[in-house]
Structures are given as C-alpha cells and as structure tokens.
Amino acid sequence: MRARVSAPLQALTPLQSLIARRWRPQWICQSCQHRSQRQWQRRSLATSSTQAKGEKPYYITTPIFYVNAAPHVGHMYTMILTDVLNRWQRLKGRKAILCTGTDEHGLKIQQAAAKAGTPPKEFCDRGAAVFKDLASRIDVDYDRFLRTTDQRHKEGVEYAWQMLQDKGWIYESKHEGWYSVSDETFYPQGQVQVIVDPPTGRKIMVSIETGKEVEWTSERNYHFRLSAFRDTLLEFYESNPGFVVPKTRMDQVVAEVKAGLNDLSVSRPVERLTWGIRVPTDPSQTMYVWLDALLNYATAAGYPFTPGSETVGGWPADVHVVGKDIVRFHCIYWPAFLMALNLPLPKQVLTHAHWTLGRQKMAKSTGNVVNPFFALERFGTDVMRWYLVQEGGISDDADYDNHFIIERYKKGLQGGLGNLASRVMRGKGWDVQRAVKLYAHPSGEIHPAVSQEADEPGRRAYGRIRAFPGQVNQHMVDLHPNRALQGIMKGVYDANGYMQLTSPWTLVTKLQSIMADTTGQEMHDLSKAGQTPEQLEAEIDRTVYLSAETLRLVGIMLQAFIPASAKRLLDMMGVAEERRSWEWCVMGKDDDYGVPMVELGRGEQGVLFPRLSSAF
C-alpha cells in the first residue's frame, strides 16, 4: 500500500507537513492485525465499562447536528434528553460535562450552501448560531459546543487519520456501490431497493433503512478495514450487553455485525467533495464526513490526549445520546474506529425513537417538521421539556400533536402538580411548617407516629414515598428518562389521590365546628367515633406532611427535567437552596421547610402553572 502525496510539502498546513514527513507506508498482515486487536482487548475491553465513578467527569454528548437545514422538534428532543441525564448527574453531586455542536462538512452542506448562494463557512456560521440559540432557549446547560470547522477539531482528525494509516487500518482501493447523498454513506446491494417515486412516477433506487435515494458510484478512495473488527466488536458486545439502549437495538447491532462487515470507504475525490477536511497525505481526497464527525466526541474531550491526562476532559464518554437512524454509525463504525486508534470505548449509547408528525417521520428534506421555536413560543420551555421527555419514545416512535400537549398540560402540570402544590401550600386550617417539624425524621428511620398511629392508607403512602426516589433513580440509571418522569408524575397523582381520600379540609371543618360548638354535641359525636380533637389534628398534620414531603421530593428530582418550574416549586415550599441536592432527596431528611419564599398566588413566581393562552 502506498500513499499518494500529490502536493508539495510547502503547500500543506504545518500539521499536514509534519504528518507527511512522519508517514511510513506499510502493509500489515492479518496475523499482525489480530495481534493488535488482542492488545486492544486486553487494555480496553474491560476498562471501557468498569472505570470507577469519580475518577473522571461524567461525559455525555448529543450528536452534532447537521446545519444543512433548520432544526426541528426532533433535534430539540435529543438535546433535552441529554440535558436531563446531565443535570441528574449534577444533582447527585458528580462533575458532569455535556457536549453538543454542529456537523459542518460533507456533500449536503456543499450543495445547500451553493443553493443558498453563500460561501460554505458563512453558511455554517449561520446554521451553528441557530442550534446554539435553540440550546439556550430550552435551557440546555452545555459545557462545550464543538463545530467540525474548528481548527482544534480539524487537527485532531488529521492526527487520527495519520494514526489509522500508520497502523495499517486504511488502504487505497477502487470503490463501487450505492451512494446516498442525503445519508452521506454507501449501501451494499442488500440494503437498497427499487421503488416508484410518487411525485414523479419514475423508478428510483433507495436505501431500505432510510428511504433516501441512492446512485451507483465508482471511484478510487481510501478504505477503513472495518471487516477486520467483526470478531472484536462481537466480543465487546458480549462483554457489555448494556452498551446500546434499548436492548432491541443492541440485538439489531449484534445481528448486523454477525452477518458480516464490509470495509468502509472513508474518503471522497476532491472533485466531488471539496467542503471537508482533506486527507493529510493526499490532498486529492476529502475525508468521509462520518469519520470526521464521529471524532468530535474525542476531540471535544481533548484528543490527541496528553499522556496521563486522558480522562481530564471526560473521556471515555459515559453516554452518547443519538436518534435510532444513526445507530450503525455510533454503535458499529465508531467503536471500530476507537479500537483501531487503541482508545477506550464509550460506556453506553442511548438510541431514542423518533417524533412523527401525522404518523410520518419528521425530516428536513420533506418539510414534515415542527419548528421548535414556534412550539417554545406557544407553550414555553418547561412545558416542552416536560412533554417531550414524558411522551417521547425511547423504544417506539411518538406522534406530535399540539392538542395533546394542551391536554397533558392541563391534566399533568395544572391538574396534577399545580393542584397538589396549591392544596398543600395554600390550604386553610393547617400549618405546613408545623407538620414538618412534627413528622420529619432526618435520621432516615420510619417515624413511629406514622408506623404506629396512621391508618392503613397513611402507612401505604409513607411506604410509597420512602421508595419513590430510588425507583426514579433506577430508571435514570437504566437510561429511560421518560419512565423516570412518568414515575415522578405517578407520585404526584398518588399524593393527590391520598389527599382526596383523607380530605384534610373536611377534617379542618369538623375540628373548627367542634371548637365552635357550645352544646358539646360535636365533641360527643367525635367521642362516639373513637377520636379526640388531638387525634383529629394529628391526622390533618400527617396528611399535610406526607403530601408536602411528596412535593419536596418531586421538586428536587424535577430540577433535572423542568429546572425553572422546579425552582419555583421549591421556592413556594420554602426549601432552602442548600437542601435541594440528591442527598436531601430522602423521606424525612429535611425538617425545616414550609414557609414560602414567594407570595403565593401572585405574580409569575407565585403561580406554578398558569393557564396557557394557546389553550383557548
């Protein structure tokens, strides 16, 4: 194998010149390849998923978003899911890093910029600004925003190419196959089919997986020896069965790799693709956009890493969050690239389902999209965060509907959480702070007054609340934020049901009637029922406390999901700022809340979930 250097060194960048001078073309035999794979296994296979917590920052990523068109609600969903998982780690006291960004190279960008009559870099600048704006609007608390046009990233990609070539994982050859401009990838014969294009009536060849049109292409370019990693990938999957979430997609990935892997074309002739990173040893070729793009996760974390400081930037990633349409790239190609570079693999890849519109996949190419900025203007940030996470699919697609958002808002946020907060904090005849002082138990033991004096519904409610945070946390550990949020809302509905059953407002009325009765008849009736005024008062306080404690735990956990509303709820409950972390998310832990920090029922901070103007 020989590398072609078709430009003089003085025409290259300094890094390209260095790489060209250091390049030593060589052929690696199959036995050497297998030895290299085994060395990688011994060093990285186990450690990729077993690194002790706390040794490095938690590192989570969104995919980098293609800037050939404006974002839609699907992009917003991915960003929010990632942010929720990141905030949850911070809630639990771990240093966490969220990386997002934009993919700005490739044929689609080149064509879109030409169509817009704009230089590609200027076109990309505008696109990146839109995605940054979206992240800001939806409260995505990112630490890094990487653009593939950044010089730091470009140099890291060039370095990776040199390493792959040095190790013999890249070779030059003629390539023929079905190529999709839209998907920026080649498909084998078995993954394409002929269909009749409805608008034109002509027969076209499309990808079975994405439905995008493909064309037959024959050209000389560079290839990555993906086929050599079949067995190593399968061993990695077997050792890390939770690598891909959900399991159904893990099974699909395993099946695809078992069926065999073809070597991957990783460059395009520059006469066809000019907008991208040039192959450092061969300026007549432009790097394949997916090799460039996937490396963003490593370059954003500091690759090429300084020896001894590999984990400072968070590498390896704890979770990549991606849509199900790019599973192959992230769960097959990306691990193989990392194995070839002798780098630790990410611990997990969360692959979520799609949002559909009218039961059809949202796609920028067809215009079947929901503009996220319009949705945010209509419903607000926290409403969209809450709705998309709770109703969005991890395994199965979900259909977007404005009317359904309004219905869920009225039932879940206004009628559920807002109603519970109002009942507890604005109820007349009881004192939340007094109830908290009476029944909080910071030691973590079951409060004897509940276990010995409460009725059966009260004891059941206490048991549910004690188990509540742990159940929600397990869903987050399993990378199912939707189930976690559904669990939080179930806690809200249960608390409302308990309050309705116990009806403390009725008990208050009864107690007030007894105190005002001069004939003694009310006291006589209460005695016949086997109660004293003190017992009646205790039952009111118990009910208020159990309901308030549910609200407090809900408020702490919701900080990861709807941060602004959660803060408002905790302010309304008078929970101290320093008592809003995960260590305080324990039944009975906080014995000093109940006096609101805001005036309830007044102004923006006094109403938890106001009526939607769009609901009329």
- Three-state DSSP class for residue 171: strand
- Cβ neighbours, 10 Å, residue 493: 15
Which pTM value belongs to this model?
Answer: 0.85
- Residue 396 token pair: 């199965």
- Residue 515 token pair: 């105190």
For residues 351 and 245, the answer to whether their CB atoms sit within 8 Å is yes
Domains of the chain: 55-379 (3.40.50.620), 401-615 (1.10.730.10)
- Mean pLDDT across the chain, nearest whole number? 87
In this prediction, residue 25 has a pLDDT band, given cuts at 50, 70 and 90, of very low
Nearest Cα to Cα of residue 433 among 354, 345, 549, 562: 549
Percent of the chain with pLDDT over 90: 69
Q: Cα(first)–Cα(last) distance of the chain, in Å? A: 69
Alpha-carbon gap, residue 304 to 301, rounded angstroms: 9
Strands 215-224 and 203-207: unpaired
**pLDDT tens across 369-412, in order?**
899 999 999 999 999 999 999 999 999 999 999 999 999 999 99
**pLDDT tens across 147-179, in order?**
999 999 999 999 999 999 999 999 999 877 788
CA 486 from centroid of its chain's CA atoms: 16
381-391 vs 73-91: helix crossing angle, rounded to 10:
90
Within 8 A by CB and 6+ apart from 35, the residues are: none
- Three-state DSSP class for residue 452: helix
Nearest Cα to Cα of residue 297 among 67, 589, 62, 562: 62
Alpha-carbon gap, residue 280 to 487, rounded angstroms: 52
- Cβ neighbours, 10 Å, residue 141: 13
Q: What is the mean pLDDT of residues 225-254?
A: 98
Alpha-carbon gap, residue 547 to 457, rounded angstroms: 12
Strand partners, 351: 322
In this prediction, residue 8 has a pLDDT band, given cuts at 50, 70 and 90, of very low
Within 8 A by CB and 6+ apart from 543, the residues are: 458, 498, 499, 502, 504, 507
In this prediction, residue 46 has a pLDDT band, given cuts at 50, 70 and 90, of very low
Alpha-carbon gap, residue 249 to 45, rounded angstroms: 21
Within 8 A by CB and 6+ apart from 529, the residues are: none
In this prediction, residue 325 has a pLDDT band, given cuts at 50, 70 and 90, of very high
- Three-state DSSP class for residue 586: coil
For residues 362 and 73, the answer to whether their CB atoms sit within 8 Å is yes
Burial of 19 (0-12, 13-18, 19+ CB in 10 A): buried
pLDDT of 35 higher than 70: no
**pLDDT tens across 191-207, in order?**
889 888 877 878 889 88
Q: Which residue has the tokens 């995960």?
A: 582
For residues 345 and 48, the answer to whether their CB atoms sit within 8 Å is yes
Three-state SS letters, 479-525: CCHHHHHHHHHHHHHHHHHHHHHHCHHHHHHHHHHHHHCCCCHHHHH
Element (H, E) at 258: helix 247-258
Nearest Cα to Cα of residue 268 among 182, 334, 172, 190: 172
What sign results for the dihedral spanned by CA atoms 67, 71, 74, 77? positive
Element (H, E) at 6: none
For residues 399 and 510, the answer to whether their CB atoms sit within 8 Å is no
What's the confidence (pLDDT) of residue 525? 60
In this prediction, residue 212 has a pLDDT band, given cuts at 50, 70 and 90, of confident
- Residue 12 token pair: 């290259």
In this prediction, residue 443 has a pLDDT band, given cuts at 50, 70 and 90, of confident
For residues 546 and 537, the answer to whether their CB atoms sit within 8 Å is no
